[in-house]
Amino acid sequence: MAESNNFTCRGKLWKFLLFLSVVCIFLLLKFDGQKRKPVRGPEIKNVLYSSEGTEEARGKTSTKPSSKTTITAKETTTTQVAATTEITTLITSSTTTISSEKVTEETKCSPEQYVLFLKTHKAGSSTMSNIFFRYGDSRDLSFVLGSDTLIGWPTRFRIGQALAFDGTRPNFLCSHTRFNKKAMNHLFPKDASKYVTIVRNPVKQFESAFNYMEIGRKFGFGTNPTEALKAFLKNGISFNDIRKSTLARNPQMFDLGLDFKFYQDAKAIKEYIEFLEKEFDLVLISDYFDESVVLMKRLLCWELDDVLYAKSNERLDKDKAPELSDDTKENIKRWNKADVLMYEHFNQTLWRRIEREGKEFYDDLANFRRMKQELKTKCFSDKPSRQLIYGNKYAKGFTLKSDLPSDLQQKCGRMTRTENNYLAYLRNKRAAKLVGINRAAPNEDDKEKVSWDAASDYKYVPVKTTR
């Protein structure tokens, strides 16, 4: 009888101790939840890990509760739910805090002031250069400049081909040159600059370059652009002939640095496209110019007003080629296989990036197009004009309205400057700055005092010797 009473007492004591333990755990969790500050990154992981560990441990110790411990088990379950609720609330609050901080961080950015823009021929790159010229000029930023429109092209870019710098790091490079990773990375370090280029549908781009550079005439296929193009594509030209006329095959990949010998090497072309994707922060698509420009604006953290444009180097109507036949289009694609593969790749990446930007991108795009149309209406008359762009080549020009206020006159005037005109202006601006830097200080050089006798404090009197 005594043993039975002892057993009952021990049972009650264990029940009481178990109940007391559960109450203590609950109070500790509640107190800790009230006192804990919002949890950040790594701490969330620890809370989750601890929670999972506790649940697992409890599962192992109470898989088959007896009838005598039913109430305790229910209380334990209630405690687990309460603890889980506390942790879930804590995690939700912390996640919200982190998300809010992430959004705030992402919306903070500083305008990029160091950009290498690699021009490609006949792909809208002159319009893009004008955007960079205006941005840098209005902020008195510096440019890598050549002695003329080109910087060493068609050879690869070398630092010695550019005009001397004023001792500071240049902000922009946006003249025609050929890609050279090592030299360009030296002037524009990858971790502190943005690399941008632009490409165009190879069918349109090749026809335009073929016509503009008079490639058909150079190889004896006549002067009629359409017929010369057909004959050229029917016959092709040799490897050595391509080396003499660098835009005669895969002109865009040539500008981007692919060597001639890889033009028919599928593996090398694929690897070079992958290389370009790593080197360039953004590859614009000329065929979707507005979308590309707005995406660039977001990448560089600029304003929409900074990237407004007026088309540069647009062909006169009389110089535009008639619609190409399907056979000619197909032959252009086959002849320029490297350009086609490159274009298809970066066209896809452009739209993937736009998709990731979300609805705000399309809001920007709509505002940009509205602003562009408003500026066009304010600045330009409908009077047709043409402007000399290079040699004996003319393109569509712009006629500014005569009654523009001075601020619009300056803004719209810069927008319509030809590339050659803007480069000449920037070279003169740079030269004037260098003159100021090189000018001697007043105590070093004084042109007003043209004689030693202007002052006689230390007038020279030689020693008189006697014999």
Residue 104 lies in a domain: no
> Where is average pLDDT lowest: 89-93, 299-303, 328-332?
89-93
Residue 290 confidence (pLDDT) above 80:
yes
Residue 265 lies in a domain: yes
Residue 455's pLDDT is 76
DSSP, res 76: H
Residue 36 confidence (pLDDT) above 50:
no
Distance in angstroms (rounded) separating the CA atoms of residues 368 and 293: 9
> Where is average pLDDT lowest: 2-6, 91-95, 169-173, 356-360?
91-95
Residue 276 confidence (pLDDT) above 90:
yes
Q: 386-390 and 393-396: which strand pairing? A: antiparallel
Q: 115-118 and 172-173: which strand pairing? A: parallel
Residue 30 confidence (pLDDT) above 70:
no
Cα first-last separation, the chain: 149
Residue 342 confidence (pLDDT) above 90:
yes
Phi, psi of 400 (to 5 degrees): -75, 145
Per the structure block, which two tokens stand in for 317?
């109507």
Q: Which residues contact 93 (CB under 8 A, 6 or more apart)?
A: 38
Residue 244's pLDDT is 81
DSSP, res 176: B
Q: What share of the chain has pLDDT > 70, as a percent? A: 75
- Which helix (H) or strand (E) segment is 424 a member of? helix 419-438
Predicted confidence band of residue 29 (pLDDT cuts 50, 70, 90)? low
For the segment 308-324, the average pLDDT, to the nearest whole number, is: 80
Residue 311 confidence (pLDDT) above 80:
yes
Residue 288 domain boundaries: 115-201+249-310+336-437
Residue 106 lies in a domain: no
Question: pLDDT (tens digit, 9 = 90+) per residue, 51-81?
Answer: 333 333 333 333 344 443 343 444 444 445 4
How confident is the prediction for the chain on average, in pLDDT?
A: 81
Q: Is the dihedral of CA 437, 438, 439, 441 positive or negative?
A: positive
DSSP, res 400: B
How many residues would you count in the chain? 467
CA within 13 Å, CB half, 63 = 4
Question: pLDDT (tens digit, 9 = 90+) per residue, 220-273?
Answer: 999 898 999 999 999 888 888 888 889 999 999 999 999 999 999 999 999 999
CA within 13 Å, CB half, 432 = 7
Question: pLDDT (tens digit, 9 = 90+) per residue, 88-139?
Answer: 444 444 444 444 444 444 457 999 999 999 999 999 999 999 999 999 999 9
> Where is average pLDDT lowest: 59-63, 382-386, 388-392?
59-63
Q: Strand pairing partners for 156?
A: 178
Classify the phi-psi angles of 140: left when phi > 0, otherwise alpha if psi is within -120 to 50, otherwise beta: left
Residue 344's pLDDT is 99
Residue 55 lies in a domain: no
- Contact assessment for residue 249 and residue 263, using Cβ atoms and an 8 Å cutoff: yes
Residue 428 lies in a domain: yes
Q: Tell me the CA distances in angstroms from 329 to 120, 199, 202, 206, 262, one per residue in order.
A: 20, 17, 9, 10, 22
Residue 325 lies in a domain: no
Residue 107's pLDDT is 58
Per the structure block, which two tokens stand in for 212?
């503009």
Residue 256's pLDDT is 98
For the segment 299-306, the average pLDDT, to the nearest whole number, is: 98
How many separate domains does the chain show?
1
- Contact assessment for residue 276 and residue 184, using Cβ atoms and an 8 Å cutoff: no
ω into residue 202 within 30 of 0, thus cis? Answer: no
Residue 293 lies in a domain: yes
| Most confident listed range (36-40, 396-400, 419-423) | 419-423
Q: Quick one: which of 147, 192, 137, 195 has its CA closest to 169? A: 192
**Virtual torsion, Cα 388, 292, 135, 212, nearest 10 deg:** -20
Residue 28's pLDDT is 67
What 3-state DSSP class applies to 286? helix
Angle at 337 between CA 335 and CA 339, to 5 degrees: 110
ω into residue 111 within 30 of 0, thus cis? Answer: no
Q: Tell me the CA distances in angstroms from 356 to 279, 294, 384, one per residue in order.
A: 21, 14, 41
Residue 383 lies in a domain: yes
Higher local confidence (pLDDT), 448 or 56: 448
- Contact assessment for residue 414 and residue 308, using Cβ atoms and an 8 Å cutoff: no
Residue 278 confidence (pLDDT) above 90:
yes
Predicted confidence band of residue 12 (pLDDT cuts 50, 70, 90)? low
Distance in angstroms (rounded) separating the CA atoms of residues 184 and 188: 6
